[in-house]
Amino acid sequence: MSSGHVSRDACVRMMATVATVCALSATPLTPQDLAADIPPYSETYRPQFHFTPERNWMNDPNGLVYYEGEYHLFYQYNPNGNSWGDMSWGHAVSTDLVHWKQLPLALSYDDNEMVFSGSAVVDWDNTTGFGTKTNPPMVAIYTSHNKSTGVQAQSIAYSTDRGRTWTKYQGNTVIDIGSKDFRDPKVQWYEPTKSWLMTVSLSAEHKVRFYSSKNLKDWELQSEFGPAGATGGVWECPDLFPLAVDGDPKKTKWVLIVNINPGGIAGGSAAQYFVGDYDGKKFTAEDEGAYTPPTGTVVQDFESTDFGSWTTTGTAFGTAPAAGTLDGQGAVSGYDGKGLANSFHSGDGTTGALTSPSFTVDSKYLNFKVGGGRYPHVDGTVMEQGPPPPGTVLADFEGGTYGGWTATGDAFGTAPATGTLPDQQEVSGFLGSGLVNSYRNGDSTTGALTSPEFTIDKDYVNFLVGGGNHPVGSGNPTAVELLVDGQVVRSTTGQDREALDWASWDVKDLVGKKAQIKIVDDNTGGWGHLNVDHIMLSDAQAHPVSQETSVNLIVDGKVVRSATGANSETLDWASFDMRPYAGKKAQIQIVDMNTSGWGHIVADRFTEADAPAKSVVQRAGWADYGKDYYAAVSWENAPGGKRYMIGWMNNWDYSGAIPTSPWRGAQSIPREMALRTVDGRIRLTSRPVNSVTSLRQGPSASAVGTTVKDTSKPLIGAAAEGKALDIEATFSLKDAERFGLKVRTGANGEETVIGYDTTTQELYVDRGHSGAVDFNSTFPGVQTAPLKAKDGKVSLRILVDWSSVEVFGGSGEAVITDQIFPSPASQGVRVFAENGSVKLDRAVVWHLGSAHK
């Protein structure tokens, strides 16, 4: 999020819809990483050619401007710690966009404001009067977040010494509309009107505003754009710039970047774009036309007076299809005909399921419309809470005292609670009559409760937890922590619900070690408390109760496909790929197990088809299809009219929990942007800046003309292995369903798979076994990007760093950026083909040296 942006508490509440258990890496940081004397930039996961601050938290890139031979990179920075907070502008400069020099803090927070995201320009004509014509000022335009009111307004600051020192303008703020969701100004000089142009976000309204000024101080509103495209999260960090189409300067289009969180193409944070025209006042996006889904056979449209052969449990779906909007519900739209499945009967407090009869899978895809809450199905959950598994109870908080546990602060009182505390919503799901509840005197109290030391002698630690979702690594956690040798090795939060539910840590790798459990409440904001009960060691895992609002495909009794709404009453298309289950028996189940806000689901028009229907999110334009490319913005004044863009290489779903220290946060490789016509549509494309090649070391290793069939094997051998690599590869399609490369491969099946699926015509990255993945439930998984082969060939450019992969497919229209946290020993590179063969025309691997040297 661009700067703190909705409050951190609100951000964490959004994360609660997708994150269940937030545990620090099963392979915790090595002791040398935690030691103070390790040389900087040599830590286990430290990127070697992506910018990171030497220490502390970093998020959005800010103030991107080129001046007197230097590219300036300012960035959201916490000068006081490794989690979000005290937002200020850090500063670094580079002459080539690869080798960066970190400079002192540029713009600091103070008692009144935090300095949120924004941009910088060189005021060549000294329109502000802050400098002179011979020494034009550099001017930063940033969002000032008022710490007492939460209001976000636009302010300016200036420098007359090449950005080294800054003075905040005495007349701040320069635009204040009294909003708490008005942020991230991107400013440029617009030559046709000889004026400054500001592009700024009304984040909660999914709108971008355009303002004009002659002096950067006095601004006039010109127009608004939006809502449009993907709107499943807040709109942040907008950017607007022109680009030639297919390199033709006579054919220019404008690109509007709108970063969104959550609701991105891969889940969570992402960079969306629109292509269109700008006339000096207004941006108009290209008309993509109305969407027509693939035709097929409708198997359930809910147009009858009852559910037919579909069966219901619970009360959420009523006894028959709903005729649209139900009592107390926002207006429902996007369904077909008159009826739909709607679980808002009696509001969000009801639960239940609607299940189809069993059928034999004989179609390629199942398309349907879905809306309502964004609470995904989580594997391992159950429909109702059962008894705890057998094991050793460490604490059940039934004795009227904390026993040998040590309490600090005032959040936990002197003894366990006996249930709900004054002014608290009803607490449920605990066992017996006692539990830990840190809501003493409300959310304003803080403290910790620490267990005596014990020996881990079983495979799992199970416990019941509820309350706030503020993970370890966020500014003020509410978390249950497992400590070994004084270090946090596992961590779990509540889900912003008073109902306790089972959480479980797999501790097989820690058996025999001494440990303690620490319950931490360091938060005084909304949901700034924690409920905990029945902590036990067991050889069996406890299963949490489902909180999903989802449409599921069930095969052999297991959920194999799942889709949710996007916290919207507007239904949108979704699709299940049924091909892997051809000939098998299956059922469709619409599930509402959630009683919180948006705790309902709406669905309609289940259709068997030969092609997948695409949602608004899938039809939108994305600058990157990976999990870790956000707050993307571009440099002003770049030499040669180039347009370079960079993004924060992280995702708000888990940004505070990634296992890095003493820094947290990295920037992507800067990319050169272009507009190209791909399959008849103008697409934004990107490629790594050319200067990356300056890091290539020694002779390259190559493989030519190799056919790979139904196997995975070393690409070249030891010469191609490494932690920092630049790989170019071209494949000729044969009959393999999937093929590609595996990087950072090692022991225990560790690998990051970079592949191409010929059946879906998609590039993909699978990081499910890439190393440390268990610090957040949304981290593992597969990211995909549409990519058609060209002349029967697929070309890839892959940048591998110590904790990331960036994959550029085709002409750069398919890009996937993902963080990975592998073992340092995992350095292998393999080529693979599945269900057939592929020809590797050519692969070249270069080792990349460190940009820090």
Catalytic entry in 60, 501, 522, 592:
60
Structure tokens at 608: 């068997």
Residue 74 amino acid letter: F
Hey, how many other C-beta atoms are within 10 angstroms of the C-beta on 504? 22
Structure tokens at 396: 């059940």
Q: How far does the chain reach from its first CA to its final CA, in angstroms?
A: 31
- Alpha-carbon gap, residue 746 to 92, rounded angstroms: 35
3-state secondary structure 682-703: EEEEEEECHHHHHHEEEEEEEE
- Alpha-carbon gap, residue 568 to 227, rounded angstroms: 14
Chain length of the chain: 853
Q: How far is CA 751 from the centre of its chain?
A: 21
* Closest to 90 in 3D by CA, of 98, 137, 80: 80
* Closest to 391 in 3D by CA, of 536, 276, 510, 517: 536
* Closest to 77 in 3D by CA, of 114, 34, 42, 45: 114
Beta strands in 635-789 (DSSP E): 644-648, 663-664, 671-678, 681-688, 696-714, 725-732, 738-745, 752-757, 762-766, 782-786
3-state secondary structure of 717: coil
- Alpha-carbon gap, residue 828 to 749, rounded angstroms: 11
Residue 661 amino acid letter: S
* Closest to 513 in 3D by CA, of 559, 552, 448, 455: 455
Q: Assess whether 60 carries a catalytic annotation.
A: yes
* Closest to 449 in 3D by CA, of 522, 504, 391, 537: 522
The H or E element spanning position 617 is helix 616-619
Structure tokens at 634: 């571009």
Partner residues linked to 754 by β-bridges: 741, 765
- Alpha-carbon gap, residue 544 to 384, rounded angstroms: 8
- Alpha-carbon gap, residue 348 to 597, rounded angstroms: 7
String of DSSP letters for 602-633: EEEEEEEESS----HHHHSEES--SSS-EEEE
Q: Answer whether 112's CB lies under 8 Å from 146's CB.
A: yes
Active-site amino acid positions: 60
